[in-house]
Amino acid sequence: MARAVEFRSILDKLFRRRTHWLRSIPGGRNPGAPPKFGRREREQAIKKLQGIASASLATKLAKAKFSDAAAEKKSWQVKGRGDKARKARFSEWFEKHVSYRSFIYVFWKRGKCIYVGKTRNGVGRPSEHFEKKWFNGITRIDLYGLRGRRSLPALECLAIHRFQPLKNKNRAQTAKWTKRCPLCKIHKFIASELRSIFALR
């Protein structure tokens, strides 16, 4: 509820800024210097509104989509000292407990999400990250096995929106044959609408 109120408040402030002079016409008074309104202010508002949309919808959308597409969830508590030992233990655990080769993986450092990724080829891709400096301190890896490959990019993107990993630089890539991230569609709609409503020369 609070986020919905904040969302509407930002829209209202943006509209009042844009119509400052226009609203003064019936009174016949000099409205004074108009509030600053330009591309920068509009784009800042877009980012804020997109952030509120993510905070409001990411968990709900991710749960719904993962419920539809994910066949299983497995968690591995990181064990072993050194890259080789961890890779060996992870591979052994993976072959014993994970039946899917296409999945989303999420790295956790206690309660903080560090990285989200995807793979179509099984154990190899997640274990590549074991050699990175930021992997030290990772305590758990969650794997979401998927029934098909088409949902991979969208689900990876939703997981990034939901968990806000510290080490992901970009959102998930998409291809023409993949299913699109529903939250990114909402972000695009917000940006398109505001740029259309508050068009600038």
Percent of the residues in the chain that have a pLDDT greater than 70, as a whole number:
96
Beta bridge partners of residue 116, listed in sequence order: 106
pLDDT of residue 9: 94
Residue 145 has pLDDT above 80, yes or no: yes
Tens digit of each residue's pLDDT (9 = 90 or more) over 87-138: 999 999 999 998 888 899 999 999 999 999 998 877 668 888 988 889 988 9
Closest residue by Cα to residue 186 from 56, 91, 90, 65: 56
CB 45 within 8 A of CB 93: no
Which residue type occupies 139?
Answer: T
pLDDT of residue 52: 93
Which token pair is 14? 């943006």
Question: Residue 57: which residues within 8 A CB-CB, separation 6 or more?
Answer: 183, 186
Question: Residue 195: which residues within 8 A CB-CB, separation 6 or more?
Answer: 42, 46
- CB atoms inside a 10 Å sphere around CB 178: 18
Which token pair is 54? 């993510």
Which token pair is 11? 């829209």
Confidence of residue 28 (pLDDT cuts 50, 70, 90): low
CB 84 within 8 A of CB 147: no
